[in-house]
Amino acid sequence: MKKIGFVVPWHGQTIPGGAEMALRGVTEHLNKAGVDVEILTTCVKEFMADWNENYHKPGLTVENHIPVRRFKVRKRNVDAFNRVNIKLMNDEQLTPEEEEIFCKEMINSPDMYKYMEQHKDEYHCFVGIPYMFGPVYYMCKKFPEKAVMIPCFHEEAYIYMDVFKKAFSNIQGMIFNAEPEKVLAQRVYDTKCQKLITPGLGLDTSLVYDEERFRAKFNITEPFILYAGRKDVGKNIYTLIRYFQEYKKRHKNDLKLVLIGGGKVSIPRSLKGEVHDLGFVSIQDKYDAYGAALTLCQPSKHESFSFVIMESWLCRRPVMVHEGCDVTKHFAVASQGGFYFNNYFEFEEEVNYYLEHPEMAFVMGENGRKFVLENFDWDIVTRKYIEFFEGLYNHE
């Protein structure tokens, strides 16, 4: 099998984000398994950086034993892009002309596309992640006979764009993180001639945690709900804060809310002393926090996987997820490792259940741990990826 080129908008060992973490994990474990992999990316630093700025030098480097080939980006019309992107963010449909503006003024690298055209025969396939960025879209449009996606789809306006429907329906295959993501793709795109697989994503299942160490270090002795991840509106964190505020009005217990991760969030004055925003913490502190928590709450409605849910289960703690996210709801139900809520009163009932039934909360955490070990250990996931690539051009 020839080398596999992973096509991404940016790359770095410390870049935050689920898709970025997924790419690092997949490529590193394929590499360790003897698969020849390479990363094709731009010189942009990361998602939050200026997409017009070439932060890295173009050319080939080796990072964590994997070749990384970077290309300069073209200058983009930011204002034109923002005008159409804001419509998508508000779930408004674009005209064909506006869709073309979105694709053209998105992050793009003509140098990358030229290289791929000249060297495509050296690659078994190109694998794009995630779906909506310029390098992945143009990979699918220009090289459908070589293209595979790890799309990271979830329900949002972007997936319904006609330019995406046309480009993504002609590629060789898709790799999904969860079964509901696959169902969504089959509903929106024409995938009947594609090879589809749902291996999920792998995790380090050997992680260790110490709940008492966390409590001692951060001086948090009360039971607490944990939120782990980026603190912004897109993650629906304000729903969690609003529900917790209502909970504290109705219940005079000592339950706290602990937030870890980047970003800033506004905490109501009435919750002073009730919410601990710890910001970025070390990986080990994060694991210890999972182990010490009453439950992890993942309120996001837009997830194609959720590392924090899986990590919480590996630390034997149950979870709470939003019913509006098909993927996290699916994981909670399939594992019997957590609850899902759609309104405040469901949230309240579930929190009280965990407080009043610690033995069952532990059982649910153990159920989740078993689910992760059986499905998302890296050896299992890597083997599925290799089998997919080996049979890519043999499917009907």
User: What's the pLDDT tens digit per position in 74-84?
Assistant: 999 999 999 99
User: Domain containing 288 — which CATH number?
Assistant: 3.40.50.2000
Six token digits for residue 89: 């963010």
CA 317 to CA 291: how far, in whole Å?
A: 6
- The contacts of residue 173 (CB under 8 Å, 6+ apart) are 148, 149, 194, 195, 196, 197, 388, 392, 395
Q: How confident is the model at residue 237 (pLDDT cuts 50, 70, 90)?
A: very high
Residue type at 29?
A: H
Alpha helices of the chain — where are they, by DSSP H?
18-32, 78-89, 96-105, 110-119, 134-142, 162-168, 179-188, 211-218, 237-250, 283-292, 307-314, 326-335, 344-356, 358-375, 378-390
The answer to whether the CB of 211 falls within 8 A of the CB of 244 is: no
Q: How confident is the model at residue 56 (pLDDT cuts 50, 70, 90)?
A: very high
pLDDT at 308: 95
Average pLDDT (177-199) is: 95
Verify that 220 and 112 share a domain, yes or no.
Answer: no
Six token digits for residue 137: 């879209």
pLDDT digits (tens, 9 = 90+) for 212-236: 999 999 999 999 999 999 898 889 9
How many structural domains is the chain composed of?
A: 2
Average pLDDT (222-251) is: 95
Quick one: how far is CA 215 from the chain centroid? 28
How far CA 269 is from CA of 101, 245, 279, in Å, comes to 43, 10, 19
Verify that 370 and 389 share a domain, yes or no.
Answer: no
Verify that 169 and 244 share a domain, yes or no.
Answer: no
CA 201 to CA 176: how far, in whole Å?
A: 9
pLDDT at 395: 56
Average pLDDT (16-41) is: 93
Verify that 39 and 182 share a domain, yes or no.
Answer: yes
**DSSP assignment of 68-136:** EEEEPPPP--HHHHHHHHHHHHTTPPPPHHHHHHHHHHSS--HHHHHHHHHHGGGEEEEEE-STTSHHH
Integer distance in angstroms from the first to the last C-alpha of the chain? 20
pLDDT at 44: 97
CA 174 to CA 202: how far, in whole Å?
A: 17
pLDDT digits (tens, 9 = 90+) for 286-298: 999 999 999 999 9
Mean predicted lDDT score pLDDT of the chain? 95
Verify that 171 and 222 share a domain, yes or no.
Answer: no
The answer to whether the CB of 295 falls within 8 A of the CB of 320 is: yes
Has residue 396 got a pLDDT over 60? no
Of 212 and 16, the structure prediction assigns the larger pLDDT to 212
Verify that 347 and 388 share a domain, yes or no.
Answer: no
Domain holding 83, by residue range, is 3-202+377-394
Verify that 149 and 232 share a domain, yes or no.
Answer: no
Residue type at 141?
A: K
Verify that 320 and 235 share a domain, yes or no.
Answer: yes
Verify that 369 and 385 share a domain, yes or no.
Answer: no
Verify that 55 and 134 share a domain, yes or no.
Answer: yes
17-26, 104-113, 155-164, 323-332: lowest mean pLDDT where? 17-26
pLDDT at 252: 87
Quick one: how far is CA 254 from the chain centroid? 33
- The contacts of residue 168 (CB under 8 Å, 6+ apart) are 131, 140, 149, 151, 174, 189
Verify that 183 and 327 share a domain, yes or no.
Answer: no
pLDDT at 16: 78
Verify that 292 and 384 share a domain, yes or no.
Answer: no
pLDDT digits (tens, 9 = 90+) for 314-363: 999 999 999 999 999 999 999 999 999 999 999 999 999 999 999 999 99
CA 338 to CA 354: how far, in whole Å?
A: 10
